[in-house]
Structure 1
């Protein structure tokens, strides 16, 4: 992602990109090309990644001496910007 907000993709462009990736995996979009990627390349990349998932170990250990707490989100007074 670009650090400059003006150079980031707009919401509609992201919707198109993610839609194309989804359709490349779920549907038959093998021959279509968008943003320099072909549907069959995207599908192959995800299939390869799916094969690696079982080989990934957790990279963290739970500290048995630590105290883990949950904060009720209803107790937090959040300010929401009107710009959203």
Structure 2
């Protein structure tokens, strides 16, 4: 990483406290996505995403994962404001 280092573990969650996360590893990648799904989810021009090893993440609370349905038009499927994605 550059001079702006991240403090590990990374911790956070939703504002109401129902969902919390902790990541014990450095990110493999960090980037911004400008797709319409991410714009709808955040209400901004982009969403910042971070890729981390699955085994390094602990999530507590009731998490709902968002999957796109390829049979529906994009405008019929808005993700929740905070979403986690995972690779199967």
TM-score (norm 1): 0.19
> Normalized per residue, which structure has more strand?
2
Which one has a bigger Cα radius of gyration?
Answer: 1
Structure number with greater CO (CA < 8 Å, separation at least 6) is 2
TM-score (norm 2): 0.19
